[in-house]
Amino acid sequence: MKTKIAEKGLFITIFWLPLINIVMYIGLLISFFSSLKKIKLSEKKNALDWAIIIFTAVVFVSTLTSVNKLLSIYGFIAFCAYPIAYFVFAKNINRENLSKILDLIVLSFLVVVVIGALQTMIIIPHSFINLSANKKIFDLLGWDIDISAWRGARIVSTLGNPNVLGTYLVFVLPVLAGIFLQKPSLKKAIIFTLGVLLLFFTYSRSAWIGFFAGILAISIFSGKKLPVFLIILLLASSLFIPTVRHRLQSGLSSHSGSGYSSRTDIWKTSLDIIRTYPVLGTGINTFYQVYPDFRKVPSEDFSHAHNMILQVGCETGFLGMASFIVFIGLFLVLALKVCKKFALEKNTVSDSWMIIGIISATVGFIAQNSFDYFLSRGQIGVLFFAMMGIVRGLDNL
């Protein structure tokens, strides 16, 4: 009975993840408490399990030495959802519920696409909309009206921010591409194309980079040339769209607060923070508080380091940064091993393609987060660790 409840918790988590994060957390808690007997500390664990446990321990210790313990305690409580997602999915995945989970990923993705399309229709006459008076409506749609840069232009759908939506798509699109390449069909092609269009209209430059890196990874791991052709075609065609061309040009801008130059400034500042707090960092969830004391340009304020490794290094020091890099590397090694194992079995060929999609999504996520940082976003963090848990669960099979 508890196994069935845990399984339903997985379904709730994965479907509601991009839609309403509170429901996602409820599903995760249902699965966790229903799986307590399955998740035992005495059980034999592989290297990835231990790497995630060690990283979690480092994050906890950094909370004790934090420059702001209250902020870090809050951050650590939120962070705990990530290892919970990993172990819950790892312990409850089987071949029967895996196909349902994939169906739910596609279904919730389609809801995101539909709401994104509706958003474009609603905000076309944006000059006639009183944003402040209708704040509650836009909050329900996930439209953060405080971000004036994309008002009336950049799609957010249900994720509240165009860059967060872009990150979600960087994860999901390579998985959909893997499903399509395993067994091509017009229906799958249309779904994938809708997702790509949604990604472009987020105008998230880092998400574009992540998407291209993920699709390129699929081409390398699968030996298929079609994804590379798609990358070249999409890149070439996008240059003819003025808004896309402008976003790409702004990425190379030398103006402060916009483009690559601002990234280099914040990276230098992040290195100064790491040098000042080398062992355990400033404490999780404290970057935005300490950054003003180190910033190079007084007028600039950033809430994160715009680089995943540097962000982890600033908040958890070299210990956290090293354990983080190790567990990412161990995950990729494990995923490749499991993929090769399933590739040798004809009856599990679909699992092999799905793992290729997850590996490629991880590559895309790393590429994107070399210029941004979204692991601290609850839905993105849970999705990342859940995907690792799925691969770990398949390894258990």
Torsion, Cα of 79, 81, 83, 85 (10° steps): -150
Q: What's the pLDDT at 25?
A: 94
Kindly report the pTM of this predicted structure: 0.88
Report CA-CA distances (Å) from 301 to 88, 150, 287, 295.
Answer: 37, 19, 11, 8
Average pLDDT rounded to a whole number, residues 106-119: 90
Percent of the chain with pLDDT over 90: 46
DSSP letter for each residue of 154-180: S--TTSSSHHHHHHHHHHHHHHHHHHH
Domain range list for the chain: 2-396
Render pLDDT for 136-157 as a digit per residue (tens, 0 to 9). Answer: 655 555 555 554 434 456 788 8
- The single-letter DSSP state of residue 74 is H
What distance lies between CA 122 and its chain's CA centroid?
Answer: 27
Structure tokens at 296: 């190079």
Q: What's the pLDDT at 36?
A: 79
Average per-residue pLDDT for the chain: 83
Render pLDDT for 49-108 as a digit per residue (tens, 0 to 9). Answer: 999 999 999 999 999 999 999 999 999 999 999 999 999 999 999 888 888 999 999 999
Q: What's the pLDDT at 376?
A: 86
Q: What's the pLDDT at 139?
A: 57
Whether 127 shows a pLDDT value over 90: the answer reads: no
Whether 43 shows a pLDDT value over 80: the answer reads: no
Q: Using 50, 70 and 90 to split pLDDT, how confident is the model at 296?
A: confident
Q: CA–CA separation, 312 vs 58, rounded Å?
A: 11
- The single-letter DSSP state of residue 127 is G
Q: What's the pLDDT at 243?
A: 59
Render pLDDT for 213-266 as a digit per residue (tens, 0 to 9). Answer: 998 888 888 777 666 666 666 665 555 565 555 555 555 555 545 555 577 888
Q: What are phi and psi for residue 63, nearest 5 degrees?
A: -65, -35
Whole-angstrom Cα Rg for the chain: 21
Q: Using 50, 70 and 90 to split pLDDT, how confident is the model at 344?
A: low
Q: What are phi and psi for residue 36, nearest 5 degrees?
A: -55, -35
Q: What's the pLDDT at 129?
A: 46
